Amino acid sequence: MTLSRVLKTSITILDNIEGYLCKFFLSFFVILLFFQVIMRTVFQNSLAWSEEASRFAFVWFAFLGASYAARLGAHNRVTFQFKLFPKIVGDVSQLIADGIWLVFNAIMTVKSIEVIRDMMEYPFYSPALDIPMQYIYMLFPFTFTLMSIRIIQVNILKHILKRDIVDVDDISTDLEDIKRDMKIDSNDEGRMA
């Protein structure tokens, strides 16, 4: 495997980290709830920790999903009114809206760090799992910062590099990338031999 292929694979993994984490937390959440249902119905017993763990997994899934949607440029927006105006009006309006969104994310990041600091000074533990809640709350600065990075990334791609934002889960584009990479790698190996 060439260095460029390793680098591209690493960038792809980092670029899609929210997707991988969302899949993990959703799977964990569903499996845990399924296990809890089986425990209650078949064994007439319940596990208190599983409800709390599934709740935490769901919250992590939801916030990472919001960051993932920002990466895809897939957050809901009302853009119908911009069709009545020149394209520049819609672009500027969306840039202003994204600027407001970035300010909101920055405020949420700062305030959540303040809450985490307070929780470190005055610890609070989850009732069933007995986990210090500051670790659970670290989700908030992480996801709001990641969401801000993704908003900036999408705007750079759209407005500076003039690229369309495509769904990273679209199989047809993945297959095209694989075919293109295979052609490039076979050409590189042919030149080296």
> Could you report the per-residue pLDDT of 77-109, keeping only the tens digit for each?
777 788 888 989 988 999 999 999 999 999 999
**How many domains are there within the chain?**
1
For residue 129, give the 3-state DSSP assignment.
coil
Assigned domain for 46 exists: yes
Assigned domain for 188 exists: no
Give which of 102, 20, 101 is closest to 64, Cα–Cα.
20
Q: Containing domain of residue 73, as a range?
A: 3-177
Assigned domain for 91 exists: yes
Q: What is the pLDDT of residues 121-159, one digit of tens each?
A: 999 999 999 999 999 999 999 999 999 998 998 898 888
Assigned domain for 162 exists: yes
Cβ within 8 Å of residue 139, ≥6 positions away: 59, 60, 63
* Residue 167, pLDDT score: 55
Assigned domain for 183 exists: no
* Residue 166, pLDDT score: 65
Give which of 115, 169, 172 is closest to 140, Cα–Cα.
115
For 88, 98, 123, 137, the CA distances from 91, given in Å and listed in that order, are 5, 10, 46, 35
Assigned domain for 191 exists: no
Task: Decide: pTM greater than 0.85.
Answer: no
Assigned domain for 187 exists: no
Assigned domain for 186 exists: no
